[in-house]
Structure 1
Amino acid sequence: MWGYQDVMKCRSVSKRVDSQRLIKAKRAFLSGSVALAVFANINGAVAQTAMGSQTPQQASPVARDFNIPAQPLQSALLTFNRQSGMQITSAANATQQGVRVNTLSGRFTPQQALEKLLAGTGVSFYFTGNGAAVIGERQTVGGAQTLDGSTVLETIVVTGKTDRNAATGSGFQGTPDWVYEAPASVSVVSKEAIENSGARSARDVLDHVAGVQVNRSESQKPGVQVNIRGLQDNNRVVAMIDGARQNFQRAGHGGSQQVFVDSSFIRSVEIEKATGSGVGGAGSLGGSVNFRSVTADDIIKSGEKWGGTITAGSGTNAFDFDGNVIAGIRLSEDFSILGGVSHKRLGEYKVGKRDSKLIEWSTIVGDEVLSTGFESVGSLFKMEATPVDDVKIDLSWMRYDITSSLSEGTRIDDEDYLNNTITSSLSWDPESALVDLKAKLWFSDTKNDEVRNYTIPDPVSYGMRSWGGSIENTSRFELPVGAFSLNYGVEAFRDSGETDAIARINASGIDEAYGYKGMNPSGRADMASGFLNATLEHDDWLTVRGGLRYDHYRLKGATQIAGVGKSFVISPAGCELWDDFDPTFCIIEIDEQLGQEPAPYTNFEIDKSGGAWLPSASISIKPFDWLQPFVNYSESYRPPSIMETLFSGGHPNTSPTANMPNPNLRAEQAKTWELGANIKTDGLLSSDDSFRLKALWFRRDITDYIAMARGYYAPFEKVYDVNVNLDGTTRMRGLELEVNYDIGLAYGGVSYTRTNTDLASTYTYDGPSDINATPGSGNEIRSSVIFVVPKERFSLDAGVRMLDERFVLGGRMTYVQQTQPTVGVLAPTYSAYAYRVYDIYGSYAFNENTKLRFAVNNVTDEAYWPSLGTSAIPAPGRTFTASLSVKF
């Protein structure tokens, strides 16, 4: 008999100045601790201040229309941002009271506009070689007075329009402007959208992104299960935290791939909906999602040595507490440390009351949904160093621990999820057009400890460790036909999965624990990739890109297949063991009821490898300064995962004979075409408005798509569930739109997705067809496909800003069309009715350091279950949340 203690033990500046375009600011990433120590020793001898190393340059001569009335400097800079096409990243917290700018009206270059705007204020500025405007005296302490009594500000940096580090911008739900300049299917969830969402967990922040959905079929797992254009699970979509891959998989009744990330520390989420041609694209079939954490610049005000934020919130409907503290210190101009802790506690929520007859009530006790609460503790530690002007080093560690518990009668299921993600990177951008080097090392470790208890404790531990690295360089050249660049590099990673469970031998000699081990098998997968991408920019109106990468994988592992097991029987009298997911099912041993003799195991040793050459191409043009149409083509390659290949065993606590492995699985391959357009313009209807639009049509054709089906194992004369390659082509095509209009006092945006999915439904089957539940023609039968995205989704977001923009009140409407999969015998279980949900959100800034936020989600108390979910786990009913944030 297991006791409690026994159970617990088992748990650079840019090198080229383009006369028509502001060049991107230097970007830098993370490197290892060894490199950090080496460069730290150099710091005292060769470090220079960033300000001292810059040389004043002329701004871009492109003239724009400006209309800015006399007003305080802070609000004027926001208007200047919209009208100039430049973006302020740190001005809001650096401005001081009492400084007013002049009226500005007419057509000017950005430099001329700033000169007229700031004339007589005592505030100076200059443009740097990397396309940024620095406002403030170079060597003046913030807040000092000039001889004429005017205020001289701390340094304020206004970055160029292509700054990918911007946390917010003028796009849909605060999307940064660089998204609308990228000729690619990319979306960003900004910090602003995250803070306004009233999210119960990180998965809620992706609900309004075009082409993206989050699977919600397993409520007790608070991990994020991302679906992009109909693809999810088994690394089809690369999920990352600060560039570190999160490849944890766990089989179950819903989505298998899960990312455990603390929403308290998310700065932004970047989504690429087609496989990237550079770092991060290896082994991906359909894009990536990268959760980026906060940086020191987000926490410490410009010109200050230290700073931080404290946030605490609560709400109704079992939203008990959500709080965090993040603080940072600049030990010098070149070295900063950031740290944070968070705590969240959620209970089992109530379902909406409107149209509640549509909900499956078997998982609801009283009026609360079982297994929907959890408690989490998170932490973040980050170091950022610039030992010399052209080198930057970062080191980051994020830890996230989540616990949840289900207890109903004899049904007990305690879960603990722990994720540790460590990233380190280095960037080197010397005074050479041939070198812009970036290197990264990363490690992620996800562990899921579970204890089930019907009569005795049943502990099991699932784990996935992944580690990898990358190095890339960009070399730039000036050719007679335009600017030419080469980006080339390599990346590699390894996944090591392991499941441990206590052996449970039944009367027939079968180890029931293999129901855990087989469905989440142990094994190792390696991936290596090299790539070369060339880009030609001609006369600022034509950009042509071409690339080629080679992906190679190897997968190793061992598994078993058994020939006897258990069966599900509906509601028998005197049931002693109920199914943990659906209590209408009772588990009975076949060998006990029918006297079957157990068959022997067959052992499988799997060692397989493969690879593919993957070309990509892109053409974009700018017939007008505000319009950028583009066409993209890419090929992608996803090897079968450890779980898909070694899949065996059966449902936990029951038969280890339901599933079998498939060592002959082939890799999925896809061809993706995209036709899109960006529109980015200011002053469309008034002098201080902004309009942003990204529209895109895509088509993806996939061969050898992998799905769960039925297979025959001749030695045991038995049919099993098995992963197979589908015959023919699986096609996914659709339209995605994100658009936003902002006039300062009011804003409105739309996100629209239409997706058509034609899944291949047959595969080659070599067993007797008369023993299969769904026989087809000849030797082919239909496969089982569980999740299909709805054809249409629509989100509308609009709001107003009042009281000098201190008070913001907004609302969202989300409509999702009915989801009715038509392929496979299991598909109808995961269909969903159409639903429409309304949310309200807002904030009030008492001052520049204190802000109150509130949200009312599901205002009409709609009873529904989300698409990519199940009727057994409906969505929360009406929920009010409020939080207070204080900066110090």
Structure 2
Amino acid sequence: MLTRARRHHILPATAMALAMTVGTAHHTSAQDGRQQAEETESGRRTLLQRLIVSDTIGSGDPYDEAAPASTVDREAITERFGGDANQVVRSTAGTFTRAPSDQPGLTVNVRGLQGMGRVNTMIDGVPQTFRNLSGHGGTFDDMAYVDTNLLTSVDVQRGSVSGAEGMGALGGAANFRTIGIEDVLLPGRDQGVMTTWRGGTNAYGWSGMIAGGLRTPMLPNGEGMASVMGAFSYTEKRRFENGDSIEVPFDPSQKPSSGLIKVELKPNDTHELKLGGRWYDNAFYVQSGGYDWSVNNQTYTANYAYTPGDPLWDLRVNAYHNITKLDFDGIGGVFSNRHGVNTATGIDISNRSRTSFGNTDLEFYSGAAYSSDDYEGNDQRGANPDGRLIKGGLFGEAALTHGIMSLKGGLRYDRWQLSGVRGYTRPGFGDCPAGGGNCPGESASRSGDEWNPSITATLKPLDWMEFYATYAHTYRAPTASEMFYPGGHNFNGSGSPIENNLDLTAETMRGIDIGVNVKANDLFVAGDAFRLKAGYFRNRIKNFITYGMDQKPGEVSPTIRWINLPGTTTMSGFELEGGYDAGFIYANFSLTIADTEQPLPYFAGVGNDVGRLPDDFATIDVGTRLFDQRLTLGGRMRYVGDSVQVFFDDANSIHFPSYVLFDAYGSWQFNENAKLFFSVENIADKSYMNAMGGFADSYNGVNTGRGRTFIVGATARF
């Protein structure tokens, strides 16, 4: 076990001001909000009718969206899934994660697509673009470092995505929302504290979070509202055992700490400004790659809204600056003392307006977005090339609703520019002076653009049933990691060949989604609720980028580099999600049956690990609420079908059988301020290989699924 070098960072204070002279209008479902408030006051929890008002992914009840969308709320994240972000994401239809035991970075897989920005993975609407290739089991997948103690929801949309969140995303988006002032304060209070603590057996360790907030009138005359809140979280995790009482082969021990601060300024109902800062600090041993990592992430956000009450105007301006720093501490192999910085900056502006002509409603949504993703490494960068990807775009949608029918047409323009360094020369070789650092060689740049249309038709023959169908084009630009990949292990002129591929072109997808939403109430008992979202998707991808053999004109022999696959890659499947809630009993379920296997040229899974979504997986969650719904007891079944870990190619890949796991959980709301909870993961202590655990875990031959684990905890607000 390597010694971890802990780094403590202080979050700098920042302030941003935005003065706007234009306006716009944002649609919110006030009626649903009032209904939710009434249900809360009566003591009844309707898990299936959760509503979030926002201008990013997860902006409403997913059963109201004519799109394949899912939401997991804070109660489930904290109490039912033991704070395990991988379990949270895997509980939603069509969505999975790559989850090596020794890498806490989260990689979201949507319908078989992951990594390189194919899925826009965000924290509070900020794209997480950090990636690092290290070791034969390494991956260029985007990794989000998420502290589940600070989450209030996880929102996923599969397929094409509207607005800035869909820029450059091929197959979906996932947004991890952190807590805000409304989560901290009790109803009717203007100041308060919230805390969550939990611990468990089987080396689960312990975890805790504390947050505080204050809200006060903003102006001397008592008008407006200003609030500030902050939170700090700390966790300790150790090396756990599988169902055979054998420790997992690669040590998942870590001690992440994180925190955030948010300020909201609302002088009146027209203007609102939100400022935020978030940081994450962790050190862990990626034993499968042989290096001790230190990761520090800092994010700064500013969000402005102009909502004058005029249906023609609702302006939203969002800006962010996200910095992720990686260090390989001075222990290990030739890449010890690696230092890399991934800097992402972005801004978007959008407006939504509504008008009516008799019985016909018309809605317009338009905007523009810009982002910059820049990576810079030191001489130990290995196969991680320096480069900068700039994306920009315009987007617009028009929706026409008449009676039970609606038609929405969209068009977005995506443009990208990628620049980077093709290679480096070692000191003392060629024209590179001795005694200094590596000398950068030739630089290069490429660019491209595309118009991407979409169309959605909906039919609502009944108040409680809606059918929808979408056809959309999406587009993903190649990254610097792909285009400027050096080949071999090094990128420092020490013998590794230069295997860039400046001929890479962007991936394009033509996708179809057909589905139905059901929202039925008062079916069997007064106040019950049934929710269902069922859908079929079929995606056809051209120029799919993967790692494989390639021979260009003039080359003596084939070489291994990132290439565009010829022909069309097709992925399709069926997704089902929903539940029934009668207050004293409830049941939730999700099911995915799909064929999302991408073709795999030679050497995939070794030089770069590749995730393959299991063809079928499902979650069933049932429970009861007793004693005026203060006591909740429930159980969950998790099914994961046969899975494949890629190794060289299809013929040599490693196959793992399906598995079924059973969990239990419960909670007791013993007063209005505090709650105790428990969960038992893998009750039967089953030994299994965790699907999509990564090449190194799979090749080792030891099952990596966590054995039986008891977790207890408490939450409180006061």
Q: Which amino acid aligns with 2:534?
A: A
Which residue in the other structure is 1:709 paired with?
Answer: 548
Aligned with residue 857 of structure 1, among 670, 678, 681 = 681
Q: Could you tell me how far 1:417 is from its partner in structure 2?
A: 1.1
CA contact (8 A) 1:659 1:720 kept: no
Q: What SS is found at the alignment partner of 1:88?
A: helix
Which residue in the other structure is 1:543 paired with?
Answer: 406
Which residue in the other structure is 2:661 paired with?
Answer: 837
CA contact (8 A) 2:168 2:474 kept: yes
Q: Could you tell me how far 1:192 is from its partner in structure 2?
A: 1.9
**Structure 1: gaps of 5 or more residues:** 12-31, 43-58, 61-80, 102-157, 167-174, 357-365, 502-512, 564-599, 763-771, 775-782
Q: Could you tell me how far 1:376 is from its partner in structure 2?
A: 0.7
Q: Could you tell me how far 1:886 is from its partner in structure 2?
A: 1.9
Which residue in the other structure is 2:566 paired with?
Answer: 727
Q: Could you tell me how far 1:551 is from its partner in structure 2?
A: 0.2
Which residue in the other structure is 2:302 paired with?
Answer: 424
CA contact (8 A) 1:201 1:222 kept: no
Aligned with residue 605 of structure 1, among 443, 463, 468 = 443
Q: Could you tell me how far 1:371 is from its partner in structure 2?
A: 2.2
The answer to whether residue 113 in structure 2 is matched with residue 231 in structure 1 is: yes
Question: How far apart, CA to CA, are the structure 2 residues paired with 1:162 and 1:312?
Answer: 24
User: Measured at CA, do residues 345 and 653 of structure 1 come closer, stay the same or move farther in structure 2, by a change above 3 Å?
Assistant: farther
Which residue in the other structure is 2:418 paired with?
Answer: 555
CA contact (8 A) 1:659 1:722 kept: no
Alignment of 1:29-428 (within 5 A): 33-35=15-17, 87-89=35-37, 92=40, 163-165=51-53, 178-199=61-82, 201-216=84-99, 218-252=100-134, 253-255=137-139, 256-332=141-217, 334-353=225-244, 367-405=247-285, 413-428=291-306
Question: How far apart, CA to CA, are the structure 2 residues paired with 1:455 and 1:825?
Answer: 28
Q: Could you tell me how far 1:331 is from its partner in structure 2?
A: 2.3
**Structure 2: gaps of 5 or more residues:** 22-29, 218-223, 427-437
Question: How far apart, CA to CA, are the structure 2 residues paired with 1:788 and 1:34?
Answer: 42
Aligned with residue 392 of structure 2, among 518, 528, 535 = 528
Q: Could you tell me how far 1:884 is from its partner in structure 2?
A: 1.4
Question: How far apart, CA to CA, are the structure 2 residues paired with 1:839 and 1:716?
Answer: 56
Aligned with residue 313 of structure 2, among 423, 435, 438 = 435
Q: What SS is found at the alignment partner of 1:693?
A: strand
Which residue in the other structure is 2:624 paired with?
Answer: 800
Which residue in the other structure is 2:430 paired with?
Answer: none
- Structure number, greater radius of gyration: 1
1:572-596: per-residue Cα shift (whole Å, max 9, x none)? Answer: xxxxxxxxxxxxxxxxxxxxxxxxx
Q: Could you tell me how far 1:433 is from its partner in structure 2?
A: 2.2
Q: Could you tell me how far 1:555 is from its partner in structure 2?
A: 0.2
The answer to whether residue 469 in structure 2 is matched with residue 631 in structure 1 is: yes
User: Measured at CA, do residues 465 and 798 of structure 1 come closer, stay the same or move farther in structure 2, by a change above 3 Å?
Assistant: same
1:173-200: per-residue Cα shift (whole Å, max 9, x none)? Answer: xx99721111111111111221223435
Question: How far apart, CA to CA, are the structure 1 residues paired with 2:603 and 2:212?
Answer: 59
1:285-331: per-residue Cα shift (whole Å, max 9, x none)? Answer: 00100111112111112221201212221111111110000110112
Alignment of 1:482-881 (within 5 A): 482-501=360-379, 513=380, 516-517=381-382, 519-539=383-403, 541-560=404-423, 603-651=441-489, 657=496, 660-712=499-551, 717=556, 719-757=558-596, 759-760=598-599, 786-820=610-644, 825=649, 828-829=652-653, 831-870=655-694, 871=698, 872=700, 874-881=704-711
CA contact (8 A) 2:597 2:613 kept: no
Q: What SS is found at the alignment partner of 1:846?
A: coil
Q: TM-score, normalised by structure 2?
A: 0.86
Q: What SS is found at the alignment partner of 2:63?
A: helix
Question: How far apart, CA to CA, are the structure 1 residues paired with 2:444 and 2:334?
Answer: 34
User: Measured at CA, do residues 374 and 494 of structure 1 come closer, stay the same or move farther in structure 2, by a change above 3 Å?
Assistant: same
CA contact (8 A) 2:511 2:538 kept: yes
CA contact (8 A) 1:615 1:635 kept: yes
User: Measured at CA, do residues 740 and 33 of structure 1 come closer, stay the same or move farther in structure 2, by a change above 3 Å?
Assistant: same
Question: How far apart, CA to CA, are the structure 1 residues paired with 2:414 and 2:298?
Answer: 27
RMSD: 3.4
Question: How far apart, CA to CA, are the structure 1 residues paired with 2:250 and 2:364?
Answer: 54
In proportion to residue count, which structure has more helix?
Answer: 1
1:625-677: per-residue Cα shift (whole Å, max 9, x none)? Answer: 11001111110000001101111143379985267111110100001101000
Question: How far apart, CA to CA, are the structure 2 residues paired with 1:864 and 1:846?
Answer: 37
1:10-38: per-residue Cα shift (whole Å, max 9, x none)? Answer: x9xxxxxxxxxxxxxxxxxxxx94436x7
The answer to whether residue 707 in structure 2 is matched with residue 883 in structure 1 is: no
Q: What SS is found at the alignment partner of 2:320?
A: strand
Q: Could you tell me how far 1:428 is from its partner in structure 2?
A: 0.6
Q: Which amino acid aligns with 1:849?
A: N
Question: How many residues are aligned here?
Answer: 670
1:772-810: per-residue Cα shift (whole Å, max 9, x none)? Answer: 999xxxxxxxx9983221111111100111111111111
CA contact (8 A) 2:291 2:333 kept: no
CA contact (8 A) 1:521 1:647 kept: yes
Q: TM-score, normalised by structure 1?
A: 0.70
